[in-house]
Amino acid sequence: MVLSRGAMAAFRLALIQLQVSSIKSDNVTRACGLVREAAAQGAKVISLPECFNSPYGLKYFPEYAEEIPGESTQKLSEVAKECSIYLIGGSIPEADAGKLYNTCAVFGPDGNLLVKHRKIHLFDIDVPGKITFQESKTLSPGDSFSTFDTPYCRVGLGICYDIRFAELAQIYAQRGCQLLVYPGAFNLTTGPAHWELLQRGRAVDNQVYVATASLARDDKASYVAWGHSTVVNP
């Protein structure tokens, strides 16, 4: 997807809809391979999906959690530098000072960590007969806004459930962001109902581009993602 608007320079954005297995090293290796593929096709900003190195689920977060920097983010840093791109590292379960977070690390073309976004709004939901999920049982919420600058535009970050909160997008737009990126993993209940609707709402209200990178759908997984990674224009 080539993005351009007003003073925003045109560039190619790639969203990687990754199928995640139970083997962390395989997930990271495949993710980095797809980053290289996207960069070879001219992408300058690339996003991975939420929880790209781990199955998505309360029982998996403690088992797969790692510090940042750590093994997974080190690989992201290396591939960002190798390909000279901005890499939005989806998210991983992050361990820090005895707490767990759902965290997105962003790396620049020099491989340096630009910003770390901890999911602010945790996914606690109970739809009778459909889905019950409570991230707050194992994860702690982030408490900060996260933006970074590229030569093309300023980018604001959220993770999945963060997209439901219009105020976050409004603040990012007020702070000069022209692109909002939400790595996510909506499910087969919330996905068809609200995934596209929320992106279009955030985009048109704030006159920004909105992009979402989802996990690929795996019908055998304990949590089945909706997929449908999307870019919406203003």
Could you read off the pLDDT of 163-199 as tens digits, one per residue?
999 999 999 999 999 999 999 999 898 899 999 999 9
Looking at the 3D structure of the chain, how many domains does it have?
1
Active-site residue flag, 220: no
- Structural domain contains residue 6: no
- Per-residue pLDDT at 124: 67
Active-site residue flag, 119: yes
Closest CA relative to residue 52, chosen from 230, 229, 215, 211 = 215
Look up the CATH number of the domain holding residue 82: 3.60.110.10
- Per-residue pLDDT at 53: 98
Contacts of 25 (CB under 8 A, 6+ apart): none
Q: Tens-digit pLDDT profile for the chain (234 aa)?
A: 777 655 789 999 999 999 999 999 999 999 999 999 999 999 999 999 999 999 998 899 999 999 999 999 999 999 999 999 999 999 999 999 999 999 999 999 999 999 999 999 887 667 678 777 688 788 999 999 999 999 999 999 999 999 999 999 999 999 999 999 999 999 898 899 999 999 999 999 999 999 999 999 999 998 899 999 999 999
- Structural domain contains residue 58: yes
- Structural domain contains residue 56: yes
Contacts 24+ apart (CB under 8 A), 99-104: 99/140, 100/61, 100/62, 100/65, 100/138, 100/139, 100/140, 101/139, 101/140, 101/141, 101/142, 102/50, 102/51, 102/61, 102/135, 102/139, 102/159, 102/160, 103/68, 103/142, 104/146, 104/157, 104/159, 104/183
> CA angle, 188 as apex, 182 and 193 as ends, to 5°?
70
The one catalytic residue in 24, 50, 104, 153 is: 50
Active-site residue flag, 160: yes
The one catalytic residue in 94, 119, 135, 177 is: 119
**Domain containing 22: what range?**
13-232
- Structural domain contains residue 1: no
- What is the reported pTM? 0.94
What is the residue-averaged pLDDT of the chain?
Answer: 94
- Structural domain contains residue 217: yes
What stretch of H or E contains 20? none
- Per-residue pLDDT at 129: 81
- Per-residue pLDDT at 2: 73
Residues 171 and 19: their CA atoms lie apart, in Å, by: 32
Say whether the peptide bond before residue 234 is cis (omega within 30 degrees of 0): no
- Structural domain contains residue 21: yes
Do residues 181 and 157 make contact, with C-beta atoms less than 8 angstroms apart?
yes
- Structural domain contains residue 7: no
